Amino acid sequence: MRRALRLVALTLALPVLYLVASVLLPLVPGPKADLSGPLTRQIGLLQGVIHTDILIPLTPETRARFGFAEAAGVPLNHPEARWLVLGWGSAGFYTTAGTYADITASAVLTAATGDDAVIRLDALGPLDPAENLRFLHLSETQFQALLDQTSAAFASTAKLDHPGFTGTDAFFPAHGRFSALRTCNVWLGETFRAAGIAFGLWTPANWSVTLSLDWHLTGQTG
């Protein structure tokens, strides 16, 4: 009986511990390279309900680096294209459907317990101000390191057989495994720290990303 009660107590405690950690650990600085310098570059962060995309400015340099996406149907060279949208996530969860209402329970379970990762790319035109849009100012070395990190995250530049959500996006195989402990937002933090950008130690949720930005990057966001 006692063993059963302990098991129930542990089961109930785990979600609480996860939630507490998702609030406290973003405030703890994670290890990062020192790539500081004048803040001459800008990227964007577009936050949905549970996922954060990186927005990389489309320049001749970034169009060339991610040129494989154009062949996959992402209109990087469109005259109105200004930003490359890049997001990492669970293959089963991320590609299930275009809206959260369409996501199946099996996709959620697969994502939580461990799934292959994919990267979604899309292109956007000029951006209007929005509550879920933030900009981050980087040094040149941080920006170049971020390009290196995001480029290295692709396991293949061959487009996956998926129709996409917007008619201009595409999915690609990515390195790594997605799980409840290593979510899309945890990957974001890992990628930022590897690029010398100050970020929290563990950022599994969108509120974790927001806390980390507000706590560690006060002078670099805007």
How far apart are the C-alpha atoms of 119 and 133, rounded to whole Å? Answer: 20
What is the DSSP secondary structure assignment for residue 123, as one 8-state letter?
A: E
62 or 15, which is more confident: 62
| Bridge pairing between strands 133-139 and 52-57 | unpaired
- Express each pLDDT in 168-203 by its tens digit: 999 999 999 999 999 999 999 999 999 999 999 999
What is the DSSP secondary structure assignment for residue 21, as one 8-state letter?
A: H
C-alpha distance across the termini of the chain, in Å: 55
- The answer to whether the predicted template modeling score (pTM) of the entire model surpasses 0.85 is yes
Say what the pLDDT of residue 172 is.
97
- Mean pLDDT, residues 152-161 taken together: 96
List the beta bridge partners of residue 173. Answer: 118
How far apart are the C-alpha atoms of 157 and 10, rounded to whole Å? Answer: 43
Q: Which residues contact 70 (CB under 8 A, 6 or more apart)?
A: 63, 76, 77
If one counts every other C-beta atom within 10 angstroms of the C-beta of residue 87, the result is: 23
